[in-house]
């Protein structure tokens, strides 16, 4: 077991020793995720409003109820957390209620609210909804104050306003969204979709291009020297596979942690997200084993790895969400590991899915990894007896 870990560790260090790999593995993915999220990132189809301050006050209660009744998604938090959500595009509008505003509202006086809009494309529309809801709450409060000033008991005034509101049928506008695609992305943050797509793209791409280290190890006689030691061939193969797997997991884990800290990406259940990454990395590592065993030229392997990685990523939904694919292309995309991993991430990110919901995707990925790993091991054993 120690020999397998040693071989795998050497492969990871040899890959990271190439400085160009450091840029494409650790820096470029985050830059691309930032670019895609800033340009094309979309929040949920439902406008999201966050309230800060005024906890337990009548103003906060009435405003929350009115916003929710108007169809907006409402959440509350501390002022600093709400500002962070606004900067990351996870909420459309932030409403900040000061203690003075809450006290003025209880006294029937005008209350000043601080309303901040995010840079999201739909934030302007959400702001109009918030203004309408705030105006409605203010109107109801003024009506209550007028009745109380006229000498009517506060409870009776509230009941009279409630009855009057129930007796009047307000105008109703119903908008039916027939686009199922827009509903699929409900609940996603600004960077969530792009982060999952780029994770799958770069993990697989880096693994395939990393197959060049396997070819170099064969050419330089590294594997032959290892076999000269008291190490069996299957341990050498297992160590090589572990090295490829380690490269994929290190990059994937870095992207997940980096996007969660820098961009607030919600990966869902962290254990399930890590499990999806591990199984997908196994597929990528096994595919790299196949390329590194079949080809004898590391430059050709690098070119084929980039081309094949981009094609599979495109077909699997890592460039354009597969929800936009035609039916025929949907069928083709399911032949790629990217699509199964994409569906698994979508399940835990958008629908709070558990292990049971993603078992089919994990099963397919595990089968792909097993098949490619067996094929790669057989090809590597044959390549060891082939002159380079």
Cβ atoms within 10 Å, residue 22: 13
If asked whether residues 319 and 206 sit together in one domain, one would say: yes
Task: Give residue 272's pLDDT.
Answer: 95
If asked whether residues 139 and 250 sit together in one domain, one would say: no
- Per-residue pLDDT for 291 more than 60? yes
Task: Give residue 256's pLDDT.
Answer: 92
- Per-residue pLDDT for 30 more than 60? yes
Give the chain's mean pLDDT: 81
Whether residue 179 lies inside any domain: the answer is no
Mean pLDDT of all residues in 297-305: 83
Task: Give residue 43's pLDDT.
Answer: 47
How many angstroms separate the CA atoms of 370 and 279, rounded?
10
Mean pLDDT of all residues in 153-164: 68
pTM: 0.65
Mean pLDDT of all residues in 189-202: 84
Task: Give residue 233's pLDDT.
Answer: 64
Whether residue 10 lies inside any domain: the answer is yes
Task: Give residue 345's pLDDT.
Answer: 94
Whether residue 183 lies inside any domain: the answer is no
Burial level of 25, CB count in 10 A (0-12/13-18/19+)?
buried
Angle at 98 between CA 97 and CA 99, to 5 degrees: 125
If asked whether residues 113 and 232 sit together in one domain, one would say: no
pLDDT tens digit sequence for 94-147: 999 998 888 888 777 888 889 898 877 667 777 888 888 888 877 777 776 767
If asked whether residues 68 and 154 sit together in one domain, one would say: yes
If asked whether residues 27 and 110 sit together in one domain, one would say: no
Task: Give residue 214's pLDDT.
Answer: 78
If asked whether residues 63 and 100 sit together in one domain, one would say: yes
Starting at the earlier edge strand, list the strands of the sheet with 114-117.
73-77, 48-52, 93-96, 114-117
What is the residue range of 207's domain?
2-41+189-383
- Per-residue pLDDT for 181 more than 60? no
Whether residue 178 lies inside any domain: the answer is no
- Per-residue pLDDT for 150 more than 50? yes
Of the three residues 140, 171, 202, the one that is the final residue of a domain is 171
Length of the chain, please? 388
Structurally, how many domains does the chain consist of? 2
Mean pLDDT of all residues in 232-243: 74
If asked whether residues 121 and 157 sit together in one domain, one would say: yes
Whether residue 180 lies inside any domain: the answer is no
Mean pLDDT of all residues in 265-284: 93
Of the three residues 138, 171, 204, the one that is the final residue of a domain is 171
If asked whether residues 119 and 221 sit together in one domain, one would say: no
Residues with Cβ within 8 Å of 102's Cβ and at least 6 positions away in sequence, in order, are 53, 54, 57, 58, 59, 60, 111
Paired strand residues for 93: 49, 117
pLDDT tens digit sequence for 208-221: 887 777 787 777 77
- CATH number of the domain that residue 119 is part of: 3.40.1710.10
Higher per-residue pLDDT: 305 or 230: 305
If asked whether residues 199 and 323 sit together in one domain, one would say: yes
Largest alpha-carbon pair distance within the chain?
102
Task: Give residue 165's pLDDT.
Answer: 62
How many angstroms separate the CA atoms of 317 and 296, rounded?
31
Mean pLDDT of all residues in 222-232: 70
pLDDT tens digit sequence for 360-382: 999 999 999 999 988 988 887 77
Q: Are 98 and 59 in contact (CB under 8 A)?
A: no
If asked whether residues 246 and 195 sit together in one domain, one would say: yes
If asked whether residues 28 and 84 sit together in one domain, one would say: no
Q: Are 278 and 46 in contact (CB under 8 A)?
A: no
Whether residue 80 lies inside any domain: the answer is yes
Task: Give residue 341's pLDDT.
Answer: 96
If asked whether residues 207 and 232 sit together in one domain, one would say: yes
Whether residue 37 lies inside any domain: the answer is yes
pLDDT tens digit sequence for 111-123: 888 989 887 766 7
Mean pLDDT of all residues in 163-192: 61
Whether residue 177 lies inside any domain: the answer is no
Model confidence at 44, in pLDDT bands (50, 70, 90)? very low
Of the three residues 122, 143, 171, the one that is the final residue of a domain is 171
Burial level of 189, CB count in 10 A (0-12/13-18/19+)?
buried
């Amino acid at each position: 077991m120690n020999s397998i870990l040693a071989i795998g560790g050497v492969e990871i260090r040899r890959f990271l020793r190439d400085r160009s790999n450091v840029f494409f593995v650790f820096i470029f993915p985050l830059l691309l995720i930032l670019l895609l999220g800033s340009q094309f990132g979309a929040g949920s189809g439902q406008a999201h409003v966050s309230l800060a301050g005024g906890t337990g006050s009548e103003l906060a209660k009435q405003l929350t109820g009115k916003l929710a009744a108007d169809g907006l998604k409402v959440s509350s938090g501390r002022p600093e957390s709400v500002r962070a959500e606004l900067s990351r595009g996870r909420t459309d509008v932030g409403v900040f209620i000061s203690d003075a505003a809450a006290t003025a509202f209880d006294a029937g006086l005008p209350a000043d609210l601080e309303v901040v809009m995010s840079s999201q494309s739909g934030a302007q529309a959400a702001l109009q909804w918030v203004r309408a809801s705030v105006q409605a709450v203010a109107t109801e409060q003024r009506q209550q104050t007028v009745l109380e000033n006229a000498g009517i008991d506060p409870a009776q005034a509230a009941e009279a306003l409630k009855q009057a509101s129930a007796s009047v049928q307000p105008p109703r506008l119903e908008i039916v969204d027939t686009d199922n695609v827009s509903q699929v992305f409900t609940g996603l943050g600004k960077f969530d979709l792009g982060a999952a797509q780029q994770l799958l793209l770069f993990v697989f791409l880096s693994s395939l291009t990393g197959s060049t280290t396997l070819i170099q190890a064969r050419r330089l006689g590294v594997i032959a020297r290892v076999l000269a030691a008291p190490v069996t061939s299957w341990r050498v193969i297992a160590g090589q596979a572990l090295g490829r797997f380690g490269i994929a997991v290190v990059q994937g884990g870095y992207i997940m942690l980096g996007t969660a800290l820098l961009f607030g990406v919600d990966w869902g259940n962290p254990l399930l997200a890590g499990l999806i990454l591990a199984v997908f990395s196994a597929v990528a590592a096994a595919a790299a084993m196949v390329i590194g065993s079949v080809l004898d030229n590391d430059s050709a392997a690098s070119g084929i790895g980039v081309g094949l990685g981009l094609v599979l990523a495109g077909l699997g939904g890592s460039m354009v969400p597969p929800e936009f694919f035609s039916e025929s292309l949907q069928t083709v995309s399911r032949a790629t590991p990217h699509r199964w991993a994409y569906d698994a991430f979508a399940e835990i990110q958008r629908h709070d899915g558990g292990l049971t919901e993603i078992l089919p995707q994990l099963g397919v990925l595990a089968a792909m990894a097993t098949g490619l790993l067996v094929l790669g091991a057989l090809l590597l054993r044959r390549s060891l007896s082939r002159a380079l």
